[in-house]
Structure 1
Amino acid sequence: MTPLALGPQRIVCLTEEATEWLYLLGQEQRIVGISGYTVRPRRARLEKPKVSAFLTAKIDKILALQPDCVFGFSDLQADIAALLIRAGVQVTIFNQRSVDEIFAMLYQVAAMVGQAEEGLALLQTWRAELDAIAQQAASFKRRPKVFFEEWDTPHISGIRWVSELMGIAGGDDIFPELAVMPMGKDRIIAEGQTIVDRAPDIIIGSWCGKKFRPDTVAARPGWQDVPAVRTGHIFEIKSADILQPGPAALTDGLAQLHRIMAQWEAEHV
């Protein structure tokens, strides 16, 4: 039996990153169900049944697809995983929170579908691109202080891989102590004044599932003297591009971060 035949043939992906990765590996034929939040790649929404949200899933619909493997992400999907496991389904839940863990997760998925060499080649290309961006950023004469807002009410700062990518792109997270906290509830910023006091040069918003509104941020009481507000350096990166701990964050997400940081640095040399 070949290694390819040993891998799962009917896969349900409860989050987008596994779906995007399998498409990039040319293994989309194995996918029988996806998350309803999937937007990358766009064609997946047209080709695959949508069987889950993020915190909920249509268990009966998943079981009817007869998957031989389900991929999920984080402790937040533990209840879904438990129901499927009790129904006899193989479930693999990844919990990647850092850039290195994203690379590790992607390699494991590639290996599981018999694409270890192909996956490794792509990952090495992306790692080289990360290193090249980090080298460019190392030449910055000034590094901007950055506030990444994952949610607005309450204010939630960026998760670890976002903070790390900001650093690679040339900026410094103003809440590095919160970035290491894996759960959003532990990254809640208790007082808005704390953000003002840390005086970010750039504000980046990515409100998961909701459109980011720079004008609303700029109009917040007491924020008029925040450097980012004063100079108009308030940007959105779509959550699908940065809050998905997979290919999107390592490619499009990082590229957008670097453009924002490089633009600011060019204006302040």
Structure 2
Amino acid sequence: MPGPQRIVCLTEEPTETLYALGEQHRIVGISGFTVRPPVARREKPKVSAFTSAKIDEILRLRPDFVVGFSDIQADIASELIRRGVEVWISNHRSVDGIVDYVRRLGALVGVADKAHAYADELQRGVDAIAEAAARLPRRPKVYFEEWDEPLISGIQWVAELVRIAGGDDIFPERAAQSLAKHRILEDPSEVVRRAPDVIFGSWCGKKFRPERVAARPGWDAIPAVRDGQLHEVKSPIILQPGPAALTDGVTELARVIGNWARAM
């Protein structure tokens, strides 16, 4: 079979993609943050976090290909490259980028045809949600919060998925910033001024607490707080730039937005 046979995945999205393509037998190591698919946690060794990795354990697995994501993993990648390992770090931040990522990863491991078919399926699902959302009677203003200490607004693919699901992100200018530090809200009252109708919380690694959001000074004036429209979206289905965001993630956004839009 062509392509690499011993793959280490430093983040969740390559793991989920390779399982979806039926190529999970090639994976020899995964990120400790992986939750999708659940079977991966049970059958694959966990050898990395997001900003750190067990380099010696990875090398003992004798990988012929390592896949990671973003400039945040640059140090891990450079150390593995110095140790003679082939590494691919993707850096996509958009919905189109996620679809293209599936195609590229499939091509790199020698299953381009399967990857193209899967990418097309993902795109059809997103298009169907967009078509349904276009028929909603109204569009909410949406605030998506990735973290609460400090407040961090949603990244690009999240803002795009909010729009696809029928809403309008209230911080589009920040969504274009790839680094979380550039999406920190120095003034929380800016959310009050922009008056979102719906608030989504996805606090990476911890449970969203809507009562804490509602108790922030001045936030009782926000329509979303006034109307009880504070909703959690689990971070594994929306904050990973992989298939989960284009399936379960956008579906959950569309469910909440649709309910809001139809509650006239």
Q: Distance in 1 between matches of 2:216 and 2:227?
A: 15
1:124 deviates by 1.0
Please tell me whether residue 92 in structure 1 is matched to residue 88 in structure 2. Answer: yes
1:1-269 matches, within 5 Å, as 4-5=1-2, 7-268=3-264
Question: Which amino acid counterpart does residue 8 of structure 1 have in structure 2?
Answer: P
- The runs of at least 4 aligned residues of structure 1 exceeding 4 Å deviation read none
Higher deviation after alignment, 73-82 or 122-131: 122-131
Question: Which amino acid counterpart does residue 205 of structure 2 have in structure 1?
Answer: G
Question: Which amino acid counterpart does residue 94 of structure 1 have in structure 2?
Answer: S
Higher deviation after alignment, 225-234 or 123-132: 123-132
**How many residues matched?**
264
Question: Which amino acid counterpart does residue 124 of structure 1 have in structure 2?
Answer: D
Higher deviation after alignment, 187-196 or 119-128: 119-128
1:79 deviates by 0.3
Question: Which amino acid counterpart does residue 198 of structure 1 have in structure 2?
Answer: R
Q: Distance in 2 between matches of 1:182 and 1:71?
A: 19
- Deviation readout 1:101-143 (Å, 9 max, x if unpaired): 1111111111122221111112112211211111111122210
1:23 deviates by 0.5
Unaligned runs of 5+ in 2: none
Higher deviation after alignment, 186-195 or 134-143: 134-143
Contact 2:147 2:204 in 1 (8 A): yes
Q: Distance in 2 between matches of 1:164 and 1:253?
A: 12
Q: Percent identity?
A: 61
Question: Which amino acid counterpart does residue 173 of structure 1 have in structure 2?
Answer: D
Unaligned runs of 5+ in 1: none
TM-score, structure 2 normalization = 0.99
1:218 deviates by 0.9
Higher deviation after alignment, 120-129 or 221-230: 120-129
Q: Distance in 1 between matches of 2:14 and 2:118?
A: 15
Q: Secondary structure at the match of 2:221?
A: coil
- Deviation readout 1:36-59 (Å, 9 max, x if unpaired): 000001010110000000000000
